[in-house]
């Protein structure tokens, strides 16, 4: 197995989903690709967009699954098998409505927390032992259905703050790729970046 690191942004493909809350993982990893100066491209072997780049001395693969959220694990498993990536070298970036907007939380492993994208990845990889970076989009307003909430576009006030949140997510991803997990967790967890 290689020491390559895989960073996955979760979301749904298609312009109608681009600015929805559920696409915060997509938006973050796309921003990271820009930051690393790499271009996301289609592949004949992976159901999604992907790119390879470097951060300091670390080889990084970026992935945006195009399988829709509930089947994200299909594309992740394709990359893991073809590039021989260990679970501990995977970071999944996703939205989380249990965190307030702008809060970020990095975890070494854990349950899916009710997130269908994480659930699919756990099922396809057969393990929960991969890192996840959860980005706050909450709270859900009273009497609002969670599915409707995550598939709505960001509000105008949220869109204005979004660049700062995306920059915070990118900084955390780069730190995860080059520093110890405990150091990065202590720096970013519970932090509200906007």
- Residue 97, CA distances (Å) to 86, 142, 144 in order: 28, 13, 12
**25-64 exposure pattern, b = at least 16 Cβ within 10 A, e = fewer:** bbbbbbbbbebbebebeeeeebbbbbbebebeeebbbbbb
Q: Residue 100 in contact with residue 72, Cβ under 8 Å? A: no
Q: Does 22 qualify as catalytic in the annotation?
A: yes
Name the active-site residue from 22, 66, 115, 124: 22
Give, in degrees to the nearest 5, the angle at Cα 98 between 165 and 8.
Answer: 55
Q: How far apart are CA 63 and CA 117, in angstroms?
A: 13
Task: Give every strand in the sheet of 5-9, ordered side by side.
Answer: 41-42, 48-55, 58-65, 5-9, 90-100, 131-138, 103-107, 191-192
The SS3 of residue 124 is helix
Q: Give catalytic residue positions.
A: 22
């Amino acid at each position: 197995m290689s020491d390559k690191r895989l960073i996955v942004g979760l979301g749904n493909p298609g312009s109608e989903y681009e600015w929805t809350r559920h696409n915060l993982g997509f938006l973050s990893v796309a921003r990271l690709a820009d930051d690393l100066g790499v271009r996301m491209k289609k592949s004949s072997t992976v159901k999604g967009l992907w790119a390879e780049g470097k951060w300091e001395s670390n080889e990084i693969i970026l992935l945006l699954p195009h399988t829709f959220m509930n089947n994200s694990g299909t594309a992740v498993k394709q990359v893991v098998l073809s590039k021989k990536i260990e679970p501990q070298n995977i970071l999944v970036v996703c939205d989380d409505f249990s965190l307030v907007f702008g809060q970020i939380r990095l975890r070494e492993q854990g349950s899916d927390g009710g997130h269908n994208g994480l659930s699919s990845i756990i099922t396809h990889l057969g393990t929960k032992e991969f890192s996840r970076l959860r980005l706050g989009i909450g709270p859900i307003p009273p009497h609002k259905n969670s599915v409707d909430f995550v598939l709505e576009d960001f509000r105008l006030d949220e869109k204005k703050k979004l660049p700062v949140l995306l920059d915070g997510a990118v900084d955390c991803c780069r730190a995860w790729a080059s520093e110890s997990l405990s150091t990065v967790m202590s720096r970013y967890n519970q932090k509200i970046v906007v």
